[in-house]
Amino acid sequence: MIYTVTFNPAVDYVMHPLTLDMGFTNRSSSEEVRCGGNGINVSSILNELNVDTICLGIIAGFTGDYILDTLQSAGVTCNFVRLDKGFTRINVKLNGIVMTIINGMGPKIPNDKVDELFGRLDRIKAGDTLVLTGSIPKCLPDDMYQIIMTRLAGRGIRFVVDAPGSLLLQSLESEPFMIKPNNHELGKLFDVNPETPEECMPYARMLHERGAQNVVVSCGGEGSALVAADGNEYITKCPPCHLVNATGAGDSMVAGFLASLDRGMSYQDALNFASACGSATAASKGLAKRATIDKFYASLQGVMAEYEAEKAKAAKCAKNADK
Ligand SMILES: O=P(O)(O)OC[C@@]1(O)O[C@H](CO)[C@@H](O)[C@@H]1O
């Protein structure tokens, strides 16, 4: 079973303004509303891929009701702790010429509700996977993921951590099964600016050496890098994609990678499938549907064949130059 935990879920309110002038009334040309929060996105894509998943987390108020109803109608199993006061945040995504995002603060979470969530986490068994992703609300300790991993240590649970900065670094001592920074987050950790999977690889290797078993680094349209649990390095490219809305693309990659390994696919195929999931979501209005993922995965095969041919040609040239 793959569990996700979302401490600060959100209703994502995506607006499509034609222009955006600060200090004036702006009008949207269309808008959508959907369930958000990184863990919830991961579970939604896993569910789309027919992989068993349970959404844990904390919800409140009318927005929490919307999240629960929507996920349950889509067939996602939920086990949320419900707050008595406040409401789950609404995150505004202004999808204009450039994307502007205003994420809410979220409700105050009392200690007894955190304990209730911990009680549910305590029931996770050996061999299960726990995905820890998304921001931790300001009212809770910012080393919350570390607290959870320490609490559940030694029980044979596979941890997946997708979090920025110190949250990610702290997680390494628990030897997480997977981490997935993007190239910017990775760059910040090492004070560098890697753009491509090739440029990210040495830094991904360092995180692998510090404990992370599988390090997947997404590089937007440039593709992704993986240093896998087998110690080898893998690169995937992105299928051709018209960007519609990148919200949830990283979460879709996490889900795609986990789903593929669950099905016994090779690391290279898992990375390719993860890339297809991310691109499919980036090209969709909401999170990707299975048919779009399959279409992108199929078109990636051609892109990868070209990439491999280029690589082989370059290697041959280098060999000839050495002679
Ligand atoms: O405020 P956080 O927790 O860092 O990010 C939350 C969020 O922006 O991330 C998801 C994926 O982009 C969205 O569904 C959601 O609104």
Q: Whose CA is nearest to atom 7 of ligand 1?
A: 37
Q: Residue 11 C-alpha to ligand 1 middle, in angstroms?
A: 10
- Ligand 1 atom nearest the C-alpha of 8 is 3
CB-count burial class (<10 Å; 0-12, 13-18, 19+) for 7 = buried
- Ligand 1 atom nearest the C-alpha of 91 is 16
- Ligand 1 atom nearest the C-alpha of 10 is 16
**Cα–Cα distance, 250 to 294 (Å, whole number):** 17
Q: Is the CB of 37 under 6 A from ligand 1?
A: yes
Q: Is the CB of 36 under 6 A from ligand 1?
A: yes
Average pLDDT, the chain: 94
pLDDT at 52: 96
115-146 per-position pLDDT tens digit = 999 999 999 999 999 999 988 999 999 889 99
**Cα–Cα distance, 138 to 153 (Å, whole number):** 25
Best residue for ligand 1 mutational test, from 12, 32, 105 (most atoms within 8 Å of Cβ):
12
pLDDT at 166: 84
**Cα–Cα distance, 313 to 305 (Å, whole number):** 12
pLDDT at 318: 82
Active site residue 230: no
pLDDT at 85: 96
Q: Is the CB of 70 under 6 A from ligand 1?
A: no
Q: Is the CB of 135 under 6 A from ligand 1?
A: yes
pLDDT at 99: 87
pLDDT at 315: 82
pLDDT at 201: 97
β partners of residue 287? none
Q: Residue 262 C-alpha to ligand 1 middle, in angstroms?
A: 25
Q: Is the CB of 41 under 6 A from ligand 1?
A: yes
Q: Whose CA is nearest to atom 15 of ligand 1?
A: 37
Helix (H) or strand (E) holding 36: strand 28-36
- Ligand 1 atom nearest the C-alpha of 246 is 12
Q: Residue 39 C-alpha to ligand 1 middle, in angstroms?
A: 9
Q: Residue 91 C-alpha to ligand 1 middle, in angstroms?
A: 8
**Cα–Cα distance, 118 to 124 (Å, whole number):** 10
Q: Is the CB of 103 under 6 A from ligand 1?
A: yes
Q: Is the CB of 281 under 6 A from ligand 1?
A: no
- The fraction of the chain above a pLDDT of 90, given in percent, is 83
Q: Residue 37 C-alpha to ligand 1 middle, in angstroms?
A: 5
pLDDT at 189: 95
pLDDT at 32: 92
**Cα–Cα distance, 178 to 191 (Å, whole number):** 22
The residue among 148, 136, 132, 84 whose CA lies nearest residue 110 is: 84
User: Pairing relation of β-strands 178-179 and 28-36?
Assistant: unpaired
Q: Whose CA is nearest to atom 14 of ligand 1?
A: 36
Ranges of residues in the chain with a pLDDT under 70 are: none
Q: Is the CB of 38 under 6 A from ligand 1?
A: yes
Q: Residue 28 C-alpha to ligand 1 middle, in angstroms?
A: 21
Domains of the chain: 1-19+27-159 (3.40.1190.20), 177-317 (3.40.1190.20)
Indicate the pTM of the whole model: 0.94
